[in-house]
Amino acid sequence: MELEFREGVVVKHPASERAASHGSHPAGPARAAARWLVAAGILGWLAWRGVTNLDYHWQWYRVPGFLVQIQDGRWTPGLLLQGLWVTFKITGASLALSLALGLITALLRLSGSVAGRLLARIYMELVRNTPLLIQIFFLYFVVARIFAISRFWSAVWALSLFEGAYASEIFRAGIVSIARGQWEAAASLGLTGFQTYTRVILPQAVRRVLPPLTSQAVSLVKDSALVSTIAVYDLTMRAQSVVSETFLAFEIWFTVAALYLAITVTLSAVAQAMEARLRVRT
């Protein structure tokens, strides 16, 4: 017993000393900064080699004009920011619609109705097993003509139907992961099926599926680039037209990638904040 105790001290001592020196020693932060500088230097050198060896005439100075323009002393959004706004609107509407579709489909698949289950299953399998590009074409060139839907809303519906199929499986997994005891407790308290879902099951299920739903939302943002194929003037479509006029291929596409990245990173950060808040509560 005594030996073990002494051994424990012996093992512990150097470790705690190291930990203490790491925190208080003035060389710690300086060394970390040096490491970052070296890494940044290597990356900078590689970038410089890439730029010079590419034999490409970089004209970054022309890019800001496509982001914002100054007309009559007022700032107005440039072509790319106009496209970004359309991308925002499409993904926002599609996100809301796909979550609703996903939830309804998941509930139908878990319902007692044979017809409901079948319908949900057919929708899910059909959409999940065909390419999004073809679905967009089908919606725009066929369905939109029948119901007189605008270009914009064709794009929104195509994206929503596509992402909704995936979201439905995520919701379904979340719902079936809730313990049977929760259903039984709600039922024994006299709650209706609807009340059980809205007050007991879904609040818990949604918390659990927030991470995969976030991935799905990020996919939606990136998949929205495909709506440029039906000439919706989103960010990608704007970029294509600017590139074809100016031949600033690298500058514009890098800028566009950065803009998509900004949206998706923001989205992930919001989701992470929501998750952290919900975790504290349970």
Partner 1 sequence: MSRQGNGGASGACAILVQDAVKVFPGGVRAVDGVSLCVDESDVVCVVGPSGSGKSTLLRCINGLEEMDSGSVLVHGVRLPGSRADLMRVRRMVGMVFQQFNLFPHLRVRENINLAQRLVNKKSRDEADAATESLLAKVDLTDKAEAWPAQLSGGQQQRVAIARALALDPKVMLFDEATSALDPETIGEVLTVMKRLAAEGTTMVAVTHEMGFAREAADRMVFMENGKILEQAPVQEFFENPREERTREFLSRIL
Binding residues for partner 1, per CB under 8 A? Answer: 179, 181-182, 184-192, 195, 199-200, 203-204, 207, 281-282
Nearer to partner 1, 92 or 203 (CB): 203
Distance CA 265, CA 277 (A): 18
User: CB of residue 208 vs partner 1: minimum separation in angstroms?
Assistant: 11
As given in the structure block, the two tokens for residue 79 are 């072509």
Nearer to partner 1, 188 or 244 (CB): 188
Nearer to partner 1, 204 or 219 (CB): 204
Nearer to partner 1, 7 or 184 (CB): 184
Nearer to partner 1, 34 or 185 (CB): 185
User: CB of residue 271 vs partner 1: minimum separation in angstroms?
Assistant: 18
User: CB of residue 193 vs partner 1: minimum separation in angstroms?
Assistant: 10
| Of 235, 266, 229, residue with least CA distance to 253 | 235
- Find all residues with CB under 8 Å of 95, minimum gap 6, and list them: 163, 217, 220
User: CB of residue 209 vs partner 1: minimum separation in angstroms?
Assistant: 14
Distance CA 54, CA 57 (A): 9
Nearer to partner 1, 59 or 192 (CB): 192
Distance CA 81, CA 255 (A): 11
Distance CA 274, CA 183 (A): 25
Nearer to partner 1, 86 or 209 (CB): 209
Interhelix angle 79-109/202-223, nearest 10 degrees: 140
Cβ atoms of 93 and 101 within 8 Å: the answer is no
Query: Between the CA of residue 10 and those of 20, 21, 76, what are the distances in Å?
Result: 16, 18, 69
The DSSP secondary structure of 79-105, one letter per residue, reads: HHHHHHHHHHHHHHHHHHHHHHHHHHH
| Rg of the chain on CA atoms, in Å | 27
| Of 272, 255, 234, 65, residue with least CA distance to 158 | 234
User: CB of residue 191 vs partner 1: minimum separation in angstroms?
Assistant: 6
User: CB of residue 214 vs partner 1: minimum separation in angstroms?
Assistant: 19
User: CB of residue 280 vs partner 1: minimum separation in angstroms?
Assistant: 10
Give the number of other CB atoms < 10 A from CB of residue 61: 8
